[in-house]
Each structure stands twice: as C-alpha cells, then as structure tokens.
Amino acid sequence: MDGAEFHAAVYETVRTIPNAHVTTYGHIAKLIGMPRHSRHVGQALKFLNPDTNPPVPWHRVIGSGGTISSRGPGTDGASRQRDALVAEGVEVVETRGGEFKVDLRQYGWFPTVPAPAELPPDENEENGP
C-alpha cells in the first residue's frame, strides 16, 4: 500500500458515507485496515480540491468525539465544513471554545470493517510471544 493507494482507499471509503451522516478519521483508518493512520486520513483529505472528480464528501469526516478540526485559526475550513453539514441536515453545535461539534450518537456512521485488507483473518490467535 503506497501513498496513492492509501489516498484512493480513503476516498472510496469516504464516498460510502451516507448523506446526513458523519464518521471519524480513526474509523476511516480502521475501514482501510490501518487503524493507526488516523492522522494520515486527514493528510489525504487535504489533497482534495473543489474540482475533484468524482467528488468526495470530505465534510462528513470529523474527529473523535464529534469535533470538527479547526485546521488553524486563520483558515475557514471548519466553518465551510459546518456549513456543508448543516446544508445536509446535520445538526452542528458550537462549543464555548468556538469549536464545532456533531452528535455522533445521532449522525454517527460506524459500519463494521468489511475486510481486514491484505491481512486475512487467522482463526488461530493463540500464538502469543
């Protein structure tokens, strides 16, 4: 799995998020078989442009706990993401610290891992060190 395949996997998974639903970076990482690469999921989404085809609903990916990453004080990415989510019917609230949050219990979308990606399940797990 190289960088390009990683990006492609992230995009495909993000495209499967239903309308008016959200998921987390960590869960996307899990779905592609790399649960420790939550940060890199965000890195991949960063490469998306408004003219990306096919379009990727990047705004449906948020942090654990339902918080929208601010991406820095000077950027408007967070507000644009909130706007996109609200336009889809997702309720977004603003915390005291100026952060945006979504209720994952209501809008969260966390499907089970479809396939362990390149690491076939081994029924024998009693093989500790």
Instruction: Using DSSP, state whether 90 is helix, strand or coil.
Output: coil
Judged by CB, which is closer to DNA: 4, or 123?
A: 4
How many residues comprise the chain?
129
Task: Round to whole Å and give the CA distance between 21 and 31.
Answer: 16
> Is 97 among the residues that bind DNA (CB under 7 A)?
yes
> Is 81 among the residues that bind DNA (CB under 7 A)?
yes
**Rg (alpha carbons) of the chain, rounded to whole number:** 16
* DSSP at 19: T
> Is 82 among the residues that bind DNA (CB under 7 A)?
no
Task: Round to whole Å and give the CA distance between 129 and 115.
Answer: 26
> Is 33 among the residues that bind DNA (CB under 7 A)?
no
> Is 73 among the residues that bind DNA (CB under 7 A)?
no
User: Contact residues for DNA (CB under 7 A)?
Assistant: 3, 6, 24-27, 36-43, 45-46, 48, 58-59, 61, 63-65, 69, 71-72, 77, 81, 95-97, 99
